[in-house]
């Protein structure tokens, strides 16, 4: 605006995604993610040219790309960092993207290089130069948190003591930070002070964080406590879901994964009839690529027969049902269906990855002599 104030303009894009008026936004949220990312890609390209542009320039490019279905399919929502200096997604979509926070402006409280916020920022930028984006983000987030705790001030590294750390830990607690968040910030602060100690800037106090929440896997017992027990798993396997084909499919895939000694959803979506020979399922696990050979039991074979397709070789019909959609979108649908099944079972949550943990827990409860029939 001429007077220097900000103005807001909007443009509407038709994604072509149809939805019933009664359909929850959550049901189609993942379907919209590629379009959000495509718009960001255009913004990033225009931003990096260094030349002025306006919303009409953005809208024109976005529409041209949306006219090409192949361009939508080519969008990789997780391939690169979402740079917050270019744009940030709305609150409801932040969980779907890897955010690269913009480094805050330097705090001009002291020219010394041993002030905490300045030291955190210098370490963050060093990690960024090394290409360690995740670590860079961790240190920037910690710097921002401590900056809020200090209310815009800074503190000399030499002045940090046990009392300061305890006050910061209590402040995190008062702010409603989850235990995992508290642990994250305290561990990053401890690593920063250890680094400064190794550089000879301060003396390392090995007891400064003693007794505070600095454990990375604090919630493992809580997660195990939330796993369905054997009786609940049997209810999931036998509940009649014939009136809802989507829930029925999600349940069958969950149980198939369990019968196959625990599998990830990504691995199941890639299974075809070529993976089965003489009653043995052979596949490579996502990530490490380890080959697994599983003898299919009666229940696993029954599920395969239920979804045997006249056309196509996929063991389960999801990719055919949602042809043209991203795998991430399909996975999100399955997650929603499983959550609904969990609600029917009276569970706080039910996620696909639980089938692996349930299998491991049940096997661990079996005595070796029972396996031998002794």
Q: Are 116 and 165 in contact (CB under 8 A)?
A: no
Helix segments in the chain, DSSP class H? 25-49, 55-66, 69-73, 116-129, 133-149, 162-174, 179-198, 220-225, 230-238, 245-259, 265-269, 298-306, 318-321, 327-344, 354-364, 368-371
Q: Please give the pLDDT value at position 38.
A: 78
State the Cα–Cα distance between residues 224 and 365, nearest whole angstrom.
Answer: 14
Find the range with the poorest average confidence among 60-64, 68-72, 121-125, 181-185: 68-72
Q: Please give the pLDDT value at position 298.
A: 92
Instruction: Give the global pTM.
Output: 0.48
- pLDDT over 70 (residue 73): no
Neighbours of 145 (CB within 10 A): 21
Residue whose structure tokens are 């409860």: 365
Q: Which letter does DSSP use for residue 5 in this model?
A: -
pLDDT digits (tens, 9 = 90+) for 116-169: 999 998 898 888 888 777 788 789 889 989 989 998 888 999 899 999 999 999
Residue whose structure tokens are 């390209």: 45
What's the whole-number mean pLDDT along residues 6-21?
54
pLDDT digits (tens, 9 = 90+) for 254-310: 999 999 988 888 888 889 999 999 999 999 876 556 788 999 999 999 999 999 876
């Amino acid at each position: 605006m001429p007077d220097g104030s900000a103005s807001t303009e909007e443009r509407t894009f038709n994604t072509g995604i149809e939805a019933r008026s009664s359909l929850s936004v959550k049901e189609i949220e993942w379907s919209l993610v590629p379009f959000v990312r495509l718009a960001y890609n255009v913004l990033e390209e225009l931003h990096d040219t260094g030349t002025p542009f306006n919303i009409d320039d953005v809208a024109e490019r976005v529409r041209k790309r949306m006219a090409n279905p192949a361009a939508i399919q080519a969008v990789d929502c997780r391939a690169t960092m979402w740079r917050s200096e270019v744009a940030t997604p709305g609150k409801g979509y932040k969980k779907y993207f890897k955010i690269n926070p913009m480094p805050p402006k330097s705090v001009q409280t002291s020219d010394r290089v041993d002030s905490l916020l300045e030291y955190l920022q210098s370490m963050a930028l060093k990690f960024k130069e090394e290409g360690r984006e995740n670590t860079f983000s961790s240190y920037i987030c910690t710097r921002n948190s401590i900056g809020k705790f200090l209310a815009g001030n800074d503190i000399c590294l030499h002045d940090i003591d046990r009392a300061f750390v305890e006050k910061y830990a209590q402040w995190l607690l008062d702010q409603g930070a989850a235990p995992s968040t508290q642990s994250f910030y305290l561990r990053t602060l401890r690593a920063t002070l250890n680094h400064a100690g190794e550089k000879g800037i301060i003396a390392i106090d090995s007891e400064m964080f003693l007794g505070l929440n600095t454990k990375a896997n604090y919630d493992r017992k809580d997660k195990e406590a939330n796993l369905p027990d054997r009786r609940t798993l049997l209810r999931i396997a036998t509940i009649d879901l014939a009136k809802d084909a989507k829930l029925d499919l999600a349940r069958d895939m969950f149980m198939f994964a369990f019968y196959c000694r625990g599998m990830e959803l990504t691995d199941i979506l890639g299974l075809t009839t070529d993976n089965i020979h003489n009653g043995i399922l052979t596949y490579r696990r996502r990530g490490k690529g380890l080959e697994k050979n599983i003898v299919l039991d009666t229940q696993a074979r029954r599920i395969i027969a239920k979804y045997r397709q006249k056309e196509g070789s996929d063991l389960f019909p999801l990719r055919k049902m949602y042809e043209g959609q991203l795998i991430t979108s399909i996975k999100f649908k399955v997650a929603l269906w499983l959550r609904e099944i969990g609600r029917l079972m009276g569970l706080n949550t039910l996620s696909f990855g639980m089938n692996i943990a349930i299998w491991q827990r049940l096997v661990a409860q079996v005595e070796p002599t029972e396996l031998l029939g002794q």
